[in-house]
Amino acid sequence: MKKIFENKNNSINPDGKIDYKKSLGQNFLYDTNLLNAIASDGGVDSTDTVLEIGAGAGTLTRVLANRARKVISYEIDKSLIPTLENIAQECKNVEFHFQDFMESDIDLIIHDRAKVVANIPYYITTPIIFKLVEHIDKFDSILVLIQKEVAERFASSVGGKVYGITSVILQSIFDVSITRIVRKECFTPSPKVDSALCKLIPHKRYNFADFEGFKNFVHLAFSMRRKTLVNNLKSAFEKEKIISALNNLKYKELTRPEEISVENFINLYNMLNN
């Protein structure tokens, strides 16, 4: 049962000088119960290096710093530098980078391993996730606070209404779960929709001929959702070969992509590329 987080009014008072920027998707958190719950869901302890993407007003940064060995935090909004520099003075284990995380070199920042804990802007959720995927061996876990419907897509099971490209790709390399729902009223300013904490833990359960090739294969498989998998794949593979591979996996010729489990997407990809 997913936990639902309502605003409990146990809050750090927002700095009235902060000018919230809609263009950067800024929705900040001040509820101390929620901030502690996020750190707890992230499994942060005194041995961890934590990567935070989007420090905002630094309220989560401070909570993470009180638990972690080190916090590496990114913030693109340079108007927040004075606020965050005050936190850096108090929390000596915090390292702020005032730049666009998407333009950063993770290999230069994370030298060993880290956990990601971040409240990231809705508009750039997927690019951030896939940048982290490129460096999956650097991370023990990824916990992101994102739009609820996007989290549901990431975690969807086969056959679900929102089961699709990102569900298959992410679940092929992560165990994906939603740890709690966060009501929109918990944010300042309040967004139009609820959010969810989505946790991704890397696994090596499956073998790929080529992960980049597999991602392209999944995109092709879902290219026209209302069509059958055979129709979507026949531009790249012989039709009879696709049907034979599906039959070997106990699927019928008219099977649609949303009916194929993550494991069998991998099996199908490997069979067709053998």
139-190: pLDDT as tens digits: 999 999 999 999 999 999 999 999 999 999 999 999 999 999 998 888 777 7
Output the pLDDT for position 186. 83
Binned at pLDDT 50, 70 and 90, residue 255 comes out as: very high
Which of the residue ranges 75-89, 128-142, 179-193 would you say has the lowest mean pLDDT?
A: 179-193
Query: pTM of the predicted model, to two decimals?
Result: 0.90
* Cα–Cα distance, 147 to 19 (Å, whole number): 22
Residue 53: band (very low, low, confident or very high) from pLDDT cuts 50, 70, 90: very high
Question: What are 1-51's pLDDT values in tens digits?
Answer: 467 645 655 544 545 465 544 444 457 787 889 999 999 999 999 999 999
pLDDT score recorded for residue 20: 44
SS3 content of the chain, % helix, strand, coil (to 5): 40, 20, 40
Show the beta-strand stretches assigned E in 18-103: 28-29, 49-53, 70-74, 94-97
Burial (CB < 10 A; 0-12, 13-18, 19+), residue 89, is exposed
pLDDT at res. 17: 60
β-partners of residue 96 are 73
For residue 11, the model assigns a pLDDT of 47
What φ, ψ does residue 180 adopt, rounded to 5°?
-165, 155
Structural domain boundaries in the chain:
3-202, 211-272
Fold of 211-272: Helicase, Ruva Protein; domain 3 (1.10.8)
Q: Give residue 250's region: left, alpha or beta (phi > 0; psi -120 to 50).
A: left
Instruction: Please state, as a whole number, how many other Cβ atoms lie within 10 Å of the Cβ of residue 67.
Output: 18
Q: What is the mean pLDDT of residues 107-127?
A: 92
Tokens representing 165?
């490209």
User: Which pLDDT does position 2 carry in this prediction?
Assistant: 62
pLDDT for the residue 8? 55
Q: pLDDT at residue 203 above 90?
A: yes
Q: Which among 49, 53, 83 is positioned nearest to 68, based on CA atoms?
A: 49
Indicate the class that CATH gives domain 3-202: alpha beta
Q: What share of the chain has pLDDT > 70, as a percent?
A: 89
The confidence score (pLDDT) of residue 88 equals 94
Q: What is the CB-side half-sphere exposure of residue 10 using CA atoms within 13 A?
A: 9
Residue 257 confidence (pLDDT) above 80: yes
